[in-house]
Each structure stands twice: as structure tokens, then as C-alpha cells.
């Protein structure tokens, strides 16, 4: 199960649980303290009864005068982005009949759509976003599409606590990305994107966002890159190449920043794996959209407001990282370690018309190496529908070049 949106109702329940848990921990510590104090009294009584003398050492504990503010290795990285990470508030209009279950029953509730339009705006869900650019008197914010989906109004809470209105520039459900705009006068800091292709497993990263909503805005968690390029199938059945991290990512972190030690955004946090297919509880498996793909998508959204994708007309899977046993399960006969395996070809699609077949392994597009789905998308999305690209494939151990005219999605 993938968690990727923090509904208002869930937020309230989660807040109650967390506050209860905190009270429980504090109460436990107090109880333990009392118990230790009682033991100390007993011990002291035993010592005094034996006429033993106690004394305090002249070498008493002291507070260090040295500041520890720079002891956190990732603190400078956090400072580079903290002012650019915001909370994104999805607001929806509630029907005027809400709270009156008998209104519709007796027919005086009126039209539901009209009531919804007249209804009061309320917070439906909250997520995170990153201010990445200041241009044309606007501050541009990247977030997840699912954070703003279905909204009647969007607000952004800045790092200083001020809440301002935001407008949707463009959205893309396929990559789960969206761009918002606010007045540039509110922008005090913008984040810089890093090169996600340079990531390595084990590299330290931090996740910055608003887990469980704006109440916990500017929360930072630390972890490592568990896998720089992981292929997953999303709930909408799209295959996506993502960064896997064990930095804590929770509902509300969606749309926030995954940051490297240089203070660069190398991913937009999108989802976490809460449990496996058999219901086993999972911890420490969060996923972020690689920054290189983010840059490609947001630039198109700002320019056109939407993504019109050129398509090859194939279903693919990256060979990188797939163990041999699983290759047999997928009936992958290629022995290549890198490349994009074509699992199926759409009838009458671009690839089919060019002669590509199921079982082919795409190794290059326009003479540029492709090792994962994100890199394939990056190259294709720099083309327009109708463009012709050269696809290099490995077929039964032989290399072949094919000209493919790109169709629309």
C-alpha cells in the first residue's frame, strides 16, 4: 500500500494519536524517575544507618561553553533550503447540506452542485512544496499533483508562518508533479536542483517538509539513499523510476524536498511503502521523483501548462538491478545488465511501425545511453510529437538502429 496524501480527517486522528503517545512517553519517564527516586531514598537510608558519609566531588559536572550549533553535518544543507520549503494547503468547498443529514431526504436541500459551489472553503488535505524559481514577479513552487488534485483553492504557508494564496500553473498526473505560483514578494529563498544521476547508494540525504500537515512544517529527517534508481509501478499502473530512501517520509511530506549534503534538491518526495502486498508492515521505504525528471517536467508545465508526451508505444522495464531469478520470472531472455527491456509493443504504435519487438533491449536514444525509465523519459520529452528519433536496440545479441516517428500519448 502506498501512502501519498494527508486528508484532514486522518490528520486529526493522527494528531490525537501522536499527542497521546507523547503523553504516554513523558508519563513513563516521570514514573521511572519516581521509582529511581524511591530506590535512592532506600539506598540513602541504608547508607545512613551504617553511619557512612557521602560527599560531592569538587569536580562537578559543568555545561560546556562551546557552541554545538555547527555539530550537525547536514545543518548547512538544511539552511540552504529551509526557507524554500512550504506547506501546501488543498481547500475544498463543503456542501451547505453538510451536517444536516435530513436536508436531502426531504427535498429542500437544493442542487448538490450549487450547494457545493456556495459552500464554505475548508482544508481538505495538506502537503509540501519547494520554491525553486523567482521570475516574472512570480515565485514558482513544485509539489505533487496528488497534493493539489481536486482543489477549489490552494494556499501556501511559507516558512515564516505566513499563509498566501497560490495559483496552479500546470499539473501532470503521470509523473505526479504540479507547479504553483505565488507573488514573488513573498519569496525569500529559492532551492537549487542537483544532478540526480550522480547519486550513489549510501549517500546521506535529508527530507524536508510538513509531515501530518502545517502543524509540523519545516520538519527535517535524515537518512541515506537506499537505491538511486528504483523502478516501481504506481497505483495508476505507470512504471516510474524513483529514488529510494530510508529518511522518514510521512503523509504530508509529499511534494517536499529530498536534499543532498550540498544543500541541493535531488528529489521531490512523493510516496512511501507502508506495507507489502501480503500485508507485512514496512518501515524506512520512501520514494522521491529524481530532480532531473522534475526539471524537465516543471519547465514544460511553466511554458505550456500541461505535458503533451511523445510516445514510443511500448511497455518497458529497466534491466538495472533486476536479479537473474526475477528475470526468468519475467521471461527476460536478454543477458544485458543495462538498458530498457521492451515487455510489449502497442499495436499500430510508433515502435510497432518502426519494427521494434517485444524482447528488444533499448540501449540508446539519439546515441545517448539509457539505463532507466527516467533517462528514457528525459530524452523523449525533449522532443515534440512528430519528431523522428533513432532507437538503438540489442536484439538477440546484435545491435540494430531504428528510426521511430513519435506519436502523442
The shares of helix, strand and coil residues in the chain, as percent rounded to the nearest 5, are 25, 35, 40
Cβ count near 408 (within 10 Å): 11
Q: Please check whether residue 117 is in contact with residue 87, taking contact to mean a CB–CB distance below 8 angstroms.
A: no
Structural contact between residues 85 and 142, judged by C-beta atoms closer than 8 angstroms:
no
Using the 8-state DSSP alphabet, how is residue 407 labeled? E
Can 58 be counted among the known catalytic residues? no
State phi, psi for 170 to the nearest 5 degrees: -175, 155
Which of 125, 196, 226, 254 is the catalytic position? 254
Residue 176 among the catalytic residues? yes
Q: How far is CA 13 from the centre of its chain?
A: 22
Enumerate residues 6+ apart whose C-beta is below 8 A from 205: 222, 223, 224, 225, 245, 247, 258, 259, 260, 261, 266
Q: Tell the residue number behind the cell numbers 503517545, with chain if given.
A: 21
Dist CA 235 CA 256 (whole Å) = 20
Cα Rg of the chain (Å, integer): 27
Distinct helix (H) and strand (E) counts, the chain: 8, 22
CA–CA gap between residue 340 and residue 362 (Å, rounded) = 5
In three-state secondary structure terms, 350 is helix
Task: Assess contact for 208 and 78: CB atoms under 8 A.
Answer: yes
Nearest to 252 by CA among 221, 291, 295, 283: 221
Q: Which three cell numbers stand for residue 200?
A: 550513489
Has 278 been annotated as catalytic?
A: no
Dihedral sign, Cα of residue 161, residue 164, residue 170, residue 171: positive
Catalytic residue among 80, 96, 176, 360: 176
Phi/psi at 368 (nearest 5 deg)? -105, 130
Angle at 38 between CA 36 and CA 39, to 5 degrees: 65
319 vs 89: CA distance, rounded Å: 39
Q: All 3 cell numbers of residue 277? A: 502486498
> Which one of 146, 196, 218, 226 is the catalytic residue?
146
Annotated active-site positions, please?
Answer: 146, 176, 254
Amino acid at each position: 500500500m502506498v501512502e501519498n496524501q494527508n486528508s484532514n480527517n486522518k490528520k486529526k486522528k493522527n494528531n490525537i494519536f501522536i499527542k497521546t503517545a507523547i503523553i504516554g512517553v513523558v508519563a513513563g519517564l516521570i514514573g521511572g524517575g519516581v521509582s529511581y527516586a524511591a530506590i535512592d531514598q532506600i539506598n540513602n537510608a541504608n547508607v545512613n544507618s551504617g553511619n557512612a558519609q557521602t560527599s560531592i566531588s569538587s569536580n562537578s559536572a559543568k555545561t560546556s561553553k562551546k557552541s554545538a550549533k555547527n555539530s550537525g553535518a547536514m545543518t548547512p544543507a538544511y539552511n540552504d533550503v529551509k526557507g524554500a520549503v512550504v506547506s501546501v494547503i488543498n481547500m475544498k468547498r463543503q456542501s451547505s447540506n453538510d451536517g444536516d443529514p435530513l436536508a436531502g431526504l426531504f427535498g429542500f436541500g437544493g442542487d448538490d452542485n450549487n450547494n457545493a459551489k456556495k459552500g464554505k472553503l475548508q482544508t481538505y488535505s495538506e502537503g509540501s512544496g519547494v520554491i525553486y524559481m523567482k521570475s516574472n514577479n512570480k515565485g514558482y513552487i513544485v509539489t505533487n499533483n496528488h497534493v493539489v488534485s481536486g482543489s477549489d483553492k490552494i494556499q501556501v504557508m511559507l516558512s515564516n508562518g505566513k499563509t498566501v494564496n497560490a495559483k496552479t500553473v500546470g499539473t501532470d498526473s503521470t509523473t505526479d508533479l504540479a507547479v504553483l505560483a505565488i507573488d514573488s514578494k513573498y519569496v525569500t529563498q529559492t532551492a537549487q536542483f542537483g544532478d540526480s544521476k550522480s547519486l550513489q547508494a549510501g549517500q546521506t540525504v535529508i527530507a524536508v517538509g510538513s509531515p501530518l500537515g502545517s502543524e509540523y512544517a519545516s520538519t527535517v529527517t535524515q537518512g541515506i539513499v537506499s537505491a538511486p534508481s528504483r523502478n516501481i509501478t504506481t497505483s495508476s499502473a505507470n512504471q516510474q523510476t524513483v529514488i529510494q530512501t530510508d529518511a522518514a517520509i510521512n503523509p504530508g511530506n509529499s511534494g517536499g524536498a529530498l536534499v543532498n549534503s550540498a544543500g541541493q534538491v535531488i528529489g521531490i518526495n512523493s510516496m512511501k511503502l507502508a506495507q507489502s502486498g501480503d500485508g507485512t508492515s514496512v518501515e524506512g521505504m520512501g520514494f522521491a521523483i529524481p530532480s532531473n525528471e522534475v526539471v524537465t517536467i516543471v519547465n514544460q508545465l511553466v511554458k505550456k501548462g500541461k505535458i503533451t508526451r511523445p510516445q514510443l508505444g511500448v511497455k518497458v522495464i529497466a534491466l538495472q538491478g533486476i536479479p537473474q531469478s526475477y528475470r526468468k520470472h519475467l521471461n527476460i531472455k536478454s543477458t544485458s545488465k543495462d538498458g530498457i527491456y521492451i515487455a510489449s509493443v502497442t499495436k499500430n504504435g510508433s515502435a510497432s511501425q518502426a519494427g521494434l519487438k517485444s524482447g528488444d533491449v533499448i540501449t540508446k536514444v539519439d546515441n545517448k545511453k539509457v539505463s532507466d525509465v527516467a533517462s528514457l523519459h528525459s530524452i523523449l520529452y525533449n522532443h515534440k510529437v512528430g519528431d523522428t528519433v533513432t532507437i538503438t536496440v540489442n536484439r538477440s545479441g546484435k545491435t540494430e538502429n531504428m528510426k521511430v516517428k513519435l506519436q502523442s500519448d
